[in-house]
Amino acid sequence: MTTVASMMFEDHIMFACDSQENDGTYTYPQKKLQELKPFPLVCALSGDTSVIDVFWRWIHEHCAKEKNLTWKVLRQDITDKLIEFNGVKRDTMNRSGVKVSPEDLASVLAAGYLNGEPSIFEVNCMGGVFIHDERRVAAIGTGVSSFHLVKRTIQNWHKQHNEPGDYDDPFFGFNDLFFEFCFDRAASNDPFTGKRLEFARITSDGVTYPKRQLKDFER
């Protein structure tokens, strides 16, 4: 079970994902959130690990050699490669007579700053590209519905406890802690080891990894 989410604030972007993998029998640590150096970008994927492994090798090499990367170029490059990698997996399964499901392919969520411009975008397993700069929030993976449900609950709470004018901004009252709370409630967790979640805070200057604030909720 993979859950990835990102939210854009006035001067930074928060990004989070779980860091566990389950093969149907065992649960083990798996680093899913990766920084795309040398740019202030982070990325995570959900879906098939064989597609994801190939994607990681490509994207790190791609970003390392690019000097003047733009959002338009990055979105197109990621889309083209993800379609290619998913296509190889789809063809292999079709030749074997196995029905392909979305879980057999991969989707990606990326966020950060390029040339000082913030953006959040996803490419799904069918090659669809969705830019979430106006919505300011995005999520992929199996916990998407839970994440948006918790977020909406918090928004409704603020709507009831603040003056109507304050709610012109649908993210009024949101901060890093609320983002962590939403993700903490939506992401996968192992009841024996506790929640293994990764958080990144992205600005135009770089990527940092803040300490968890919800210690009282840790198991």
In the predicted structure, residue 189 carries a pLDDT above the cut 60: no
53 domain-assigned:
yes
69 domain-assigned:
yes
* Domain count across the chain: 1
When pLDDT is cut at 50, 70 and 90, the band that residue 192 belongs to is very low
Beta-strand pair 117-123/129-131:
antiparallel
Indicate the range of 65-79, 102-116, 138-152, 197-211 predicted with least confidence: 138-152
Name the average pLDDT for the chain: 83
CATH number for the domain harbouring residue 34: 3.60.20.10
96 domain-assigned:
yes
When pLDDT is cut at 50, 70 and 90, the band that residue 213 belongs to is low
Cβ atoms within 10 Å of 68's Cβ, excluding its own: 7
Tell whether the torsion through CA atoms of 127, 76, 93 and 2 is positive or negative: negative
- The CA-atom distances, in angstroms, between 71 and each of 133, 163, 198 are 12, 37, 24
In the predicted structure, residue 95 carries a pLDDT above the cut 60: yes
Orientation of helix 49-65 relative to helix 71-95, angle to 10°: 150
Tell me which residue range forms the domain holding 137: 3-143+176-217
**If you average pLDDT over residues 74-85, what whole number do you get?**
96
60 domain-assigned:
yes
Residue type present at position 99:
K
Q: CB–CB of 20/30 below 8 Å?
A: yes
Instruction: Give the pLDDT score at 218.
Output: 44
Region of residue 140 (left: phi > 0; alpha: psi -120 to 50; beta: else)? beta
Confidence (pTM)? 0.85
In the predicted structure, residue 82 carries a pLDDT above the cut 60: yes
**What span, in angstroms and rounded, lies between the C-alpha atoms of 203 and 141?**
24
Instruction: Give the pLDDT score at 179.
Output: 83
131 domain-assigned:
yes
171 domain-assigned:
no
Over residues 103-134, the pLDDT tens digits come to 889 999 999 999 999 999 999 999 999 999 88
